[in-house]
Structure formats: C-alpha cells, structure tokens
A and B are shown apart, each in its own frame.
Chain A
Amino acid sequence: MALSLGSHIVLACFGVAFPSMIFVVHILGLRGNATALTLAKRWSKASAVLFAIGAVSGTVLSFEMGLLWPGLMGKYGDVLGLPFAFEGMSFFIEAIFLGIYLYGWGRMSPKVHPFMLLPMAAAGIFGTFCVLSVNAWMNWPTGFRLVNGEVTDVHPWRAMFNERVWLQFAHMWVGAFMVVGFTVAGVYAVGMLKGRRDAHHRLGFLVPFVFASCAALVQPVIGHVLGFGMDAHQPSKLAAFEFAETTTDGASPLRIGGVWIDGKPRGTIDIPKVGSLVAENSFTKPVTGMDTIPAADRPDDSAINIAHWTFQSMIGLGSALAGGVVLFWFARWRRRDLLANRWFLRGVALAGPAAILALEFGWTATEVGRQPWVVYGYLRTADAATDNPWLWWSLGGVTVLYVAMGIAGAVVLRSMSRRWREGVADLPSPYGPARIQETADKGAHA
C-alpha cells in the first residue's frame, strides 16, 4: 500500500498540475510563439506516458483498499465511501478529456483544442479534494457514532466535509504544483547545464518555475496553519512530531533532529520557546507531552522517530525551496539572471527530487504519526489490515512490478527526449508500416 501510494501520489501530481502548465504554453503557442507550441506538443506526449502509469497505479489503489484493508472498508466503507464515489467521477472527466486532448492534435479546431485541458485541471482539483477528504477523515473521524461496536447514525456528507479537509486539500494541491513545477523546470535546467541555452529551454524552464514559485511561497503558510488544532484532535501525533515527552511548564522548545529512545528524546538541538510558536502559534502554551497519552495508544518508538524525522525534513525541504525561489526572483528584480549561474541550475535540478521527497515525507508523517490507529481513536491498524497468508508474496510481486514499470517508463521518456533533440518531430511508432518499410530498406542496403 505504502509503495503503491508512494508512487501513485507522485504520478497523480502530474495529473493534477501538468494540465495547467500545458494550457499556458499551448495558449502562448496559439498566440504565435512557435517555441511554446512545440513545448505544448512535447509535454502532451510525455504526459500520455505519465498519465497512463498514473491511471493504472490508481486502479491498483482502488483494488488494494479492499484487498489489503477489508477491516476498514467492511466496517467504515459507507462512512468514507462518498468522496471516493465523487473521485471516480473526476477520474472519468480526467480520462475522457485526456483522450480528447492527446488525440486532438491536428484533428480538432486549434481554437477549441487547448480548452480540453481545463476540465482536466478542474477534475484534478476535485479529485485531490476527494482523496484528501478520506485521509482527513482518518485523522478526524466524524459523521458516525459507534454504539456497542456497531457503526450507526452515518452522515456521509459530514464525514466528507470534515474540519481538516480544506487545509489538507490546499496543502496537497499546492504540493502537486511544487512537485511538477520543480521537476519539469529541473529537466530544462539540466539541459542548460549541458549548454543548450536556446529559447526552447528558457521557456521550458520559466513556465513551470513560475507555477512552482507561487506554490513554494504559499506552502509554508498553509503548512503552518495546518498544524493548528492538532493538539486537540491528535495530541499523540503532535507530541511525536515535536518530541515532547512531557508537557513543559510554559512554552515548549523546538527540538531539531535527535532520536527517541525508551520514551526520551536524545541528542536534539533545542531552541527554547520556538516549539510553542510553530506548533501552537503562541509564546506560552506548551505542547502536550507523550506521557499524557495512555501507553496502549502511543506510537511505538520507531514510529515516533519516523514521524519526527519525516515531519521536520518536509519542513526543512519546503523552507529551502521557498528560499531558493525568493533568491531567484530577488536577483531577477536586481537584473541578475541566475540562469547564467551553474550552481543555481544545479540547485533547480535537485529541486524536483526535493519537492517529491517533501511530499512523501509529509504523507509518511501524517500516516505514521497516527499509529497505532488507522482511523484515529476508532480503528487500530492491526484490526483493519488483511491477515492473508499470501500477503508477503504479493507485496514482493508488487515491488518488482513497480520497479520494472518505473525503469521502463524512464527509458521510454528519455528516448523520447533524445529523439526530439535529434530533430524527430512526431515519433512514429516503430511497428507502423512506414517504419517497418524503412527498416527493411536499410536491411536490403546492408
């Protein structure tokens, strides 16, 4: 599950954020910018490959929900199912307009064609909201009552529009723009490092980088606000994030790094009072300590360490990316072009992987920090999971499959980009009659 989600979430980001970026270059292209039009064509071909793996990885997830979590779906399926139903609807919209857009090149009126991307972007927003609604519900379960172990009084709308969903959605949606923006910009930054400094590379860098810049600047703000209220609804998670072993008297310190062994944090760098500032937005209110949580409901030591480290790494990476973006635009305002600076380009090349890591860390932090619960306070992970004897075999199989798919996808995308560089415009399929004839002719000459 974690593996397929971990891959899907990155691919899903492309489904969410890439259409908006393609839309911009496509519209620029229609206004007469030939470079932009070429970019739009190439990006739409690359997205055909990415979206295909994204869609199948999503199907894997919808199976896995049942195959791996029968205890969750059997008991709470009707509480949390509604957002999934709406999500299915947005997948339809996404897949339909994807088909129309990809195959619309040269077959559709050029004026109408780019607008096929807009329903995809809208479906991306809606779909993200729906999935995050489920995750937010697992953090803040509402819309039902548990009476003698039976789920009753189900209000699916209340479960869907729970209190956490808006912020979690905003955080994820903006995160998707960071991931895609920095990754795509990074591809062109690498090109520039290799000396390809034409208009094509500059525009290919700039458009995604503008998107990523906006996203990177608002993300820390959203993330900070997202942290509020966690003391009330998931105190054990907050205590794990902040390594708070006891509730301090007055403001808590910010504890960076370190390890948690036998209920005590060790080797942390403590900054007095700042912990309360970031977690509670207050100079005096302490962070609730882990000792207030009943022992059976505490995450175990390794979960506490994972939650703490991934959480802080996310914030560290997010702040670094925001800083890099500020640097670039500040320099530009002072009429210095950082694109001439090799170190800056190297930084951009790393920004994509950094954003992906931040995203994965963020998920790991919420999920692992919630342990031992799947549905906080209601359902333990051990009771939700399948007890299938073949589970480990299938996990091994899934791992091999994903690695193979990742390698194959990377090989195909790289060969596409190399052929574009060599000037091949429309990438004919190698088994098409034309190419076969060509190969046969070559063979005859040899």
Chain B
Amino acid sequence: MSAELIVAAALFTGVLAYAIFGGADFGSGFFDATAGGARRGAELRTLIDHSIGPVWEANHVWLVYILVTWWTAFPTAFAAAMTTLWLPLMLALLGIVLRGASFAFRKYSETLGEARLFGGIFALSSLITPFFLGCTAGAIASGRVPAGGHGDLITSWLNPTGVVGGLVAGGTCAFLAGSFLVADAARAGHEHLADQLRIRMLGVGVATGLVVFAGLFLLRSDAPTLFDGLSGRALPLVLLSAGAGLATLVLVARRRYAVARFTAVGAVGTVVLGWGVAQYPWLLVDQVKFADAAGAPATLHALIFATVLAAVLVVPALAYLYYLTQTERWTKH
C-alpha cells in the first residue's frame, strides 16, 4: 500500500469514529430538545448529562484529528475545501462552541431559568452542527469543491446532495444517541424512561431510514459519481446498513436494548464506510484524487508514525474510559 493510501485510510478512520462517537454525542441534543418541560424532562436530561458528561470532550477531539491530518497530508485540497465551504463550516463551528460551553454551564447553573437557557442553546446547537457538517460532506461528495478552491460560497453546499447529507447526518446522530440512551436508561433501572425513549427512538429510526433511501434517488442526478459508487462497489455496504438498521428497530421494539446499540453502530458505520468506498479514489469528488493531493512523502511517513503512536497511546486510554462509563459503579451513581 502506498503512503498516501495509508494516510487516507487513517483520515477516514477518524471520520468514521467521529460519525459514531461524535454522532451519538450530538444526537443526544435531539432527545434533550424533545424531553418536554422542566418537570417532565428532568429525568431524561439528568440521564443525558450522565451519559455524555465524561466522554463528550474526548469524542470531539476526533474532529480536531480529522482537520490536522487533512491539512498535513493533503494541504492543497484542504485549502480548497476551506475556501469554498467557509459558511457551513463557520456555522458548524458556531454550533460546536455553543454546545460545549452551554453543556458545561448548564450542569453548574444555579437556577432553573439559567439551566433552561443553556439547555436550550445546547439542544439547538446539537441539532445544527451535524446538519452543517453533513452539508459539507455532501458538497465534497457531489463534486462541488473545485480543485483550486474558491467555489461558490452558497450553492456549493445548499443543493440537493448537501441537504441530504445534512439530514442524514442529523438523523443518524439521533438514531445512535437514542440507542445508547435507551440502553443506559434501562441499565440504570429507569424502566419508565426507557419506555418513553423507546417510542421516540423507533420514530427517529423510521424517519432516518426513509431520508437515507429517499436521498439515494436524489443523488442519482445530483451526484452521479457518488451514486455510481453507492450502487456499484459500495452496494454490499449499503445493503448491510439497511439490514442493520432494520435489525435495530426490531431489537428496540422487543426491548433488547443492549444488543441494539451494536446494530445501530453497525448501521451508521456501514453507511459512512459506504460513502468512503463509493467516493474512492476521489478526495474531492471529480476534482482531486488522493494520490494527486498528497503532500511531501517525508511528511506522510512522519504522519503514519504519529498515527501509529497515537493508536498505541490513545486507543487503550479511550477503551478504558468507555469501559468505566459502562460499569455498574459509574451507571448507578
């Protein structure tokens, strides 16, 4: 395998991890927003605090990892994307800032009024961030980011593929978050809450599934290269994703929450992977291929070293964190 391929794989692993971990994290905002008034939503909001509190900062470092790997390994393509997709990225950034800060502020606010204000900001920004990141992905995947950069600031992302990307991102986030929250609620013994979440989770699942498959038809004319990939090379992954998504709905309906978490991750993971496989070998679809965008070889080698070192140091630590949050002692408290 050539160096740029290894780095591209490492970069895409970051995208995948962010879609799953960051996604589950963002999606909790949907459930927070729909939890109801202060009294009725109290239990659910506390559960959300508890579930994402220890992990949200780590989950969101994946985005930083994606950005730095991208600009180090494929600098010109990075500059092209940044000059074109300036607006949605700024808006996603706004969402990230508001979300992180208001989440921390809400937990320690003194009065219910303050908590409501920060909670509202948290929930809203959790919804907009994945949408705009999805638009960004859609713009790249539909070939609207010119190799030289400075593409249209609006129509590059505000178009059918971009909007589909945004909606799919939002939906998959809520879907993932639902599967984790419902399992957490059941494990902590909040049966009533779990039942409430179960209904909403099923609704989100059905809606997301519909958006994904309706979106596929729009892509046919709007993003032909991507569509060819999805209906060709990546078709097995798309089908796998559909299967896993359906299985999740069945499992949740039958209250098998612990297993449903894994099928939900599988459904989202395969759909993101399918996107990656479908757009390969393009970095910016129809414009720049990975091989042509690569930076200096010495840098790629150094970057591979950095990634391996990070894998050795970070993965065990991350596993330990997730393990701790899933133990009895951490859940019950």
Q: Which A residues lie at the B interface, using CB under 8 A? A: 45, 48-49, 51-53, 55-60, 62-63, 65-67, 70-71, 73-79, 81-82, 84-89, 91-93, 95-100, 102-104, 106-108, 119, 151-152, 154-157, 386, 388, 390, 394, 397, 401, 405, 408-409, 411-412, 415-416, 419, 427, 429-433, 435-436, 439-440
Q: Which of A59, A78, A415, A439 contacts B72 (CB 8 A)?
A: A78
The chain A residue with its CB closest to the CB of B50 is: A103
Question: Known interface pairs A77-B295, A92-B318. Does A49 touch B306 (Cβ–Cβ under 8 Å)?
Answer: no
Given A55-B100, A82-B303, 16 further pairs, Cβ under 8 A: A49-B108, A56-B99, A59-B93, A62-B63, A67-B89, A70-B82, A84-B68, A87-B68, A89-B310, A89-B314, A92-B314, A100-B320, A102-B54, A429-B106, A430-B115, A436-B42
4 nearest A-B residue pairs (beta carbon)? A81-B72, A77-B75, A78-B295, A74-B79
- CB distance A412 to B64 under 8 Å? no
A106 CB → nearest B CB, Å = 7
Is residue B302 within 8 Å, beta carbon to beta carbon, of the partner chain?
Answer: yes
A77–B89 CB distance below 8 A: no
A-side contacts of B104, CB under 8 Å = 48-49, 52-53
Residues of B within 8 A of A427 (CB): 108
- List 9 contacting pairs A-B, 8 Å CB cutoff, sorted by A: A59-B64, A59-B96, A59-B100, A66-B82, A76-B75, A85-B310, A86-B306, A92-B61, A100-B320
Q: Which residues of the partner chain B approach A95 to less than 8 Å between Cβ atoms?
A: 57-58, 60-61
Contact call A73/B317, Cβ cutoff below 8 A: no
B65-A409 in contact (CB<8A) = no
CA distance A429 to B64 in the complex (A): 30
**B71 interface neighbour in A65, A91, A440, Cβ under 8 Å:** A65
Whole-angstrom CA separation of A388 from B72 in the bound complex: 23
A431 touches B60 (CB 8 A): no
Residue of A nearest to B315 (CB): A92
Evaluate contact between A49 and B105: CB separation under 8 angstroms. yes
A97 to chain B, nearest CB (A): 7
Known contacts A48-B104, A78-B296, A430-B111; is-contact A99 B119 (Cβ 8 Å):
no
B90: nearest chain-A partner, CB-CB: A394
Complex contact A91–B43 (CB within 8 A):
no
With both chains docked as a complex, state the minimum distance between the C-beta of B42 and any C-beta of chain A, in angstroms.
Answer: 5
A420 to chain B, nearest CB (A): 11
Whether A429 contacts B318 by the Cβ 8 Å rule is no
Q: Which of B109, B119, B314 contacts A412 (CB 8 A)?
A: B109
* Chain A positions within 8 Å of B75 at CB level: 73-78, 81
B residues 116-166 with Cβ under 8 Å of A?
116, 118-119, 149, 153
> B317: which of A48, A51, A93, A386 is its contact (CB, 8 Å)?
A93
Partner of A52, one of B89, B90, B101, B109: B101
Q: Which residues of B contact A439 (CB under 8 A)?
A: 112
Nearest-CB residue, chain B, relative to A50: B104
Q: Does B330 contact A (CB under 8 A)?
A: yes
The reply to whether B61 and A52 form a contact with Cβ atoms under 8 Å apart is: no
One of A52, A73, A89, A108 near B313 (C-beta < 8 A): A89
Chain B residues near A55: list those with CB within 8 A.
57, 60, 100
Contacts of B250 in A (CB 8 A): none
B77 CB, min distance to chain A CBs, angstroms: 9
Whether B103 pairs with A52 at a CB distance below 8 angstroms is: yes
Give chain A's interface secondary structure class: helix
CB–CB B54/A99 < 8 A: yes
Between A65, A92, A107, A397, the greatest number of chain B beta carbons within 10 A of the residue's beta carbon is seen for A92
* CB of B254 closer than 8 Å to a CB of A: no
A433, B83: Cβ atoms closer than 8 Å: no
Would you call B309 an interface residue if the criterion is a C-beta within 8 Å of the partner chain's C-beta atoms? yes
Bound-state Cα–Cα, A76 to B98, Å: 31
Q: Collect the chain A residues with CB atoms within 8 Å of residue B329's CB.
A: 107
A59 and B109 contacting across the interface, CB-CB below 8 Å: no
Residues of A within 8 A of B333 (CB): 106-107
Q: Once bound together, how far apart are the Cα atoms of A56 and B256, in whole Å? A: 36
Cα(A100)–Cα(B318), bound, Å? 10
Interface string of B30-50 (1 = CB under 8 A from A): 000000001101110110010
Contact A62 B64 (CB under 8 A): yes
Is B55 at the interface (CB under 8 A from chain A)?
yes
Whole-angstrom CA separation of A228 from B86 in the bound complex: 41
Residues of A within 8 A of B103 (CB): 52
CA distance A63 to B90 in the complex (A): 8
Given contacts A409-B105, A429-B46, A439-B112, contact A156 B53 (CB under 8 A): no
Question: For A51, what are the chain B residues with a Cβ–Cβ distance below 8 Å?
Answer: 57
Quick one: given A59-B93, A74-B75, are A99 and B109 in contact (CB under 8 Å)?
no
- CB of B257 to closest CB in A, whole Å: 22
Asked if B214 is at the interface (CB within 8 A of a chain A CB), the reply is no
Please, which residues of chain A bring their CB within 8 A of the CB of B49?
429
**Known A-B contacts A92-B61, A92-B314; A156 and B296 likewise in contact (beta carbons under 8 Å):** yes
Known contacts A91-B64, A388-B83; is-contact A56 B100 (Cβ 8 Å): yes
CB neighbours of A106 from chain B (8 A) = 333
B101 adjacent to A397 (CB under 8 Å): no
Question: From residue A229, how far is it (CB to closest CB) to chain B in Å?
Answer: 26
The answer to the question of B199 belonging to the interface, with a C-beta cut-off of 8 Å to chain A, is no
Closest B residue by C-beta to A58: B64
Name the residue of chain B whose CB is nearest to the CB of A76.
B75
**Given the contacts A73-B82, A95-B58, A430-B111, A157 and B302 also touching, CB distance less than 8 Å:** yes
Contact partners of B43 in chain A: CB under 8 A: 433
Which residues on B sit within 8 Å (CB–CB) of A119? 317
Q: Is the CB of A388 within 8 A of B61?
A: no
A81–B100 contact, CB under 8 A? no
Is there an interface contact between A88 and B65, defined as CB atoms closer than 8 Å? yes
Given contacts A73-B82, A154-B299, contact A53 B100 (CB under 8 A): yes
**Which one, B38, B61, B299, contacts A81 given CB within 8 A?**
B299
- Residue pair A390, B87 in contact (C-beta under 8 Å): yes
The smallest beta-carbon distance between B245 and chain A, in angstroms, is 29
B318 A96 Cβ-Cβ under 8 A? yes
- The distance from the CB of A237 to the nearest CB of chain B, in whole angstroms, is 27
> A70-B83, A92-B65, A92-B317 in contact; A431/B78 too (CB < 8 A)?
no
On whether the beta carbons of A412 and B67 are closer than 8 Å, the reply is no
A102 vs B104: C-alpha distance in the bound complex, in angstroms?
12
Bound Cα distance from A107 to B58, whole angstroms = 19
Measured CA separation A416–B302 after assembly (Å) = 45
Whether A60 contacts B318 by the Cβ 8 Å rule is: no
A contact residues around B114 at 8 Å (CB) = 411-412, 430
